[in-house]
Amino acid sequence: AGDVRASSARDSGASSSGSRRRSEKKESMRTVTAVFLGLGILALAAAVSVEVQSHSWMVDIFGKQNPYRALNDLINGIFFSEATRRGFEERFGEELGYYMVTYLRDLIAGILVYYIAAGVWHIMIYHVLRERIFKGQEDQIPTAATIWDQICLAQASVFCYAALPVFSSWLVENGYTRAYFYVDEIGGWSNYLAWTVAYFVLVEIGIYWVHRTLHTNKFLYKYVHALHHKYNSAATLSPWASIAFNPLDGIAQASPYVVAMFLVPCHYITHLLMLFFTGIWSTNIHDAVPGNIEPIMGAKYHTVHHTHYHYNFGQIFIYCDKFWGTLKTPEEIRQLRMAKKK
């Protein structure tokens, strides 16, 4: 009887310890995810506050005729000297030279966002929080070979990814979209907020259906999307998998950000910030470290997507999957497995 009680106590202690580790793991990821979400919100708030406080000087800097191009010229000047930019324009013509510089700028920015976001996230979960997240589960940490494979694929694809924002800028600068630069163009801040929500909803729906189609269409899955799904377990997912796609795949899933600008008015700087934040967010959802942050489509849901393919196609929120019946939690997946065994 004593042995039974001792064994029971050990089991209870182990269970309690495991429960505490899972709780600490989830709490850690809630904290880290909250930091990333907070940074995104602060970036958006900073852009809005600049617009609120200083519309007049923004007009002085960017003008009224084509402020989009003026802004891009200003950003290009941060990356390249005046002599370099003029050199491109003299050699390739003013228009082509300008867009070539813009492409190189977006390429450098994309590479920086990828390595900084994934690098910081890597240090946080595999080093700083390693004991709290992976204690007793070290086999769930991706190997160096897996991470290197993801980096190589992402680095090769980013050369193509950088072309999409250039095309987007060309569309906006030439007046083909409904993008606007100054808030008073849309009738004030209440309209800005309403149209920004509408734009974001369209983007969420668009990404959901593009992603879902990449799975349901056998040709697209086999030749475009399957490359990303070779990372099909928690042990093969990492922050470095965030943009490790076939380049056509990555561009297709980002295209709703561009298409939605044809449908509803969108503040240009807000559009750019959303694109920037998406690159960071993708890092978070590919780390395979779960956390309960509903209604956010965090790694808890996206890991299920990578292991079971036909669920959880959303980007930021779970609402599209919930509405169209493709939402599955890890608990539901476990229940399905147990039901199959019976």
Has residue 47 got a pLDDT over 80? no
**Residue range 13-23, pLDDT digits in tens:** 545 555 555 55
HSE-up (13 A, CA, CB side) for residue 146: 19
* Dihedral sign, Cα of residue 219, residue 220, residue 225, residue 229: negative
**Residue range 158-182, pLDDT digits in tens:** 999 999 999 999 999 999 999 999 9
**Residue range 119-132, pLDDT digits in tens:** 999 999 999 999 99
**Which tokens is 52 given?**
């609120």
Query: Tokens 């399957």 identify what position?
Result: 226
Candidate from 43-57, 81-95, 207-221 with smallest mean pLDDT:
43-57
CA separation for the pair 133, 302 (Å, rounded): 18
Has residue 94 got a pLDDT over 70? yes
% of the chain residues with pLDDT over 70: 83
Has residue 32 got a pLDDT over 60? no
- Contact predicate 242/296, CB 8 Å: no
- Contact predicate 293/131, CB 8 Å: no
Has residue 116 got a pLDDT over 90? yes
What is the overall mean pLDDT for the chain?
86
Has residue 334 got a pLDDT over 50? yes
- Contact predicate 141/239, CB 8 Å: no
Identify which of 149, 110, 163 has the alpha carbon closest to the alpha carbon of residue 280: 110
Specify the pLDDT at position 51.
53
Q: What is the mean pLDDT of residues 127-144?
A: 90
Query: Tokens 């929500």 identify what position?
Result: 197
